[in-house]
Structure 1
Amino acid sequence: MDDLEEGETEDLQKLGRYIYISSWTKKYEESLTLWNYAENNGKTDGIRIGMKKNIFKTETINRNVMLHGQYTEIRDLEFNIGILNKMLTSNVSFVPPHATLNEVIYTNDERLLKPFVHQKHSNGFALLTGQLGIYKRHEWREQQEIRYMLRSLPLTVKEMNIDFLNTPEGEKRLLEKIKMREDIRFVDLLLKDDVFEDMEVLCGPRMSEKKKEELYELLLKYAPNAVVATSRLRIRS
């Protein structure tokens, strides 16, 4: 992510590294700031893509599986395609097991930007991770960012067994694993079959004619119905 502060917590280091994000903007008008993110060796030859919401394929799973060595009953639960297989082959759990679309909230409240997430209570403890990935400093507000978020924890279903976790030994072992386990570097999600049907593409203000020709060839193959336009901005090269 562009904001190096993101994902930091006061008590469990960078816990946000277990959240996978696809960043977009709700800002319809062009922005020089956002175009500058697309610079390549000083040339803004990137493109801006507009798509419908909820672009990732999902499937409803309704069966019993052996998950992390534990018999698990899954009933009418929506998964992004491939996520269950990722859980079957890795020490990770996705909760929920599909990406959600969220609007970034801009603030300078340090308690929200770098929260405490480990909370003890009379019956054990809780990890309050629901607000991670939601807040950025006010200085980033021009981005008007919305993002797909896929939340995970580096724990197996068996390790998250509530009877074991609510013991001093279980809590200690869980916190150690969260701090020490490697995150999965990225997660690929399949796009819906119709995602390109009404796509809009805006060519960057410094995009060369050669690059535009390459773009048209790709669109002809993968998104022949895409609406293509060129930036109205004129920037000195």
Structure 2
Amino acid sequence: MSIPRNLYHYTEINSLALILANKTIRFSALNKVNDTNEGLSVDYGDLGMYVFVSCWAVTKKEYLPLWNMYTPKMRGVRIELPFPVFNIYEVGKNESLFKEEDLITEDHIKLSSGKPYRHIIYTNDEKKISPKISRKLNDKYGGVYLDGLGVYKEKIWMFEYEMRFKFAVIPKPKTENIQDSFPVKEFIELYENRTPLGFSHYDLKISDSAFEKMKVTLGPKISPGDEEIVRSLIANYNPKAKVIKSELTNKIR
């Protein structure tokens, strides 16, 4: 599928306020999103705590199910931002949401593999929804690859037309210099023991160029008071952003 020009995120006004004030988008762990199959693997069970996603719709057309599911009583907003929303960095042969020097901290490691964005693939194939994530490279080396999680969803979710940004985070093993020696056994023990990260979400900065091009669509049932709140937030935090009415306004009782 082609890369969209713009992405759309349905949310409540309180979340909009935090996005505007902090210029960030919150990534949630897969085991915290609304699809309970997310993060499941056939060989290691639920490792969704280590994979973080930010979920977006790719269609400009408004969808009632998305207004209903993600905004209270259709009184929230839809945020529109140009792709790729975040700054993208080259790390070796991969693209990453983080600079190379920020991938390893004292407490954890952010994994960079391929591209940090992808369209969701909808299928009812159980082997894809709950994939095998352990791989044997040769007689001596193998590992667990979290990039297989958060890729497929059941077809009942097709109405979301979802594209997501994704990265994995794991606790840092005790090996003194992970860049010199890749401690596969320690990684596997971390997964098997469900070693906690200490957090279940991660806030990532929106790129300055994307932030300035923000559009906010008011929910089709937004109250006059909430509309004033949205317009005030935009005027205060992002005066270059546009606020527009929903195309469904006055069409729903």
TM-score by length of 2: 0.74
Is 1:103 aligned to residue 119 of structure 2? yes
Letter in 2 for 1:209: P
Q: Quick one: distance in 2 between partners of 1:130 and 1:203?
A: 35
- Identity within the alignment, %: 27
Match of 1:37 in 2: 69
What residue in structure 1 maps to residue 50 of structure 2? 18
Q: How far is 1:218 from its partner?
A: 0.9
Q: Compute the displacement of 1:6 (Å).
A: 0.3
Question: Cα deviation per residue 1:162-221 (whole Å; 9 max; x = unaligned)?
Answer: 8674xxxx63x4322113200331122122223222212111111001111111111112
What amino acid sits opposite 2:192 in the alignment?
K
Change (3 A) 1:39 1:87: same
C-alpha distance 105-80 of structure 1, shift in aligned 2 (>3 A)? closer
Q: How many residues align?
A: 215
CA gap of 1:146–1:78, structure 2 versus 1, over 3 A, is closer
2:95–2:114 CA contact under 8 A, matched in 1? yes
Do residues 182 (structure 1) and 214 (structure 2) align? no
| Structure 2 unaligned spans of 5+ | 1-32
What TM-score, normalized to structure 1? 0.78
SS at match of 1:11: coil
Q: Write the distance in 1 (CA, Å) between the matches of 2:209 and 2:181.
A: 44
Contact 1:93 1:157 in 2 (8 A): no
1:111-157: CA deviation from partner (whole Å, max 9, x where unpaired): 11101112334122122332211110011001000011122233438
Give 2:163's aligned residue: 146
Give the 3-state SS of the residue equivalent to 1:123 in structure 2. Answer: coil
* Secondary structure, aligned partner of 2:74: coil
Note the aligned Cα RMSD (angstroms). Answer: 3.0
- For the 8 Å contact 2:173–2:187, the answer to whether it is kept is no
Matched, 1:88 2:105: yes
Asked whether the equivalents of residues 155 and 177 of structure 1 are also in contact (C-alpha less than 8 Å), the reply is: no
Q: Return the letter of the residue paired with 1:221.
A: N
Partner of 2:8: none
3-state SS of paired residue (1:194)? helix
On the 8 A contact 2:93/2:114 being kept in 1, the answer is no
Structure 1 residues without counterparts, runs of 5 or longer: 62-74
- Matches of 1:153 and 1:131, distance apart in 2: 15
Distance in 2 between residues matched to 1:26 and 1:79, nearest whole Å: 21
Look at both structures and tell me which one has the larger radius of gyration over its CA atoms: 1
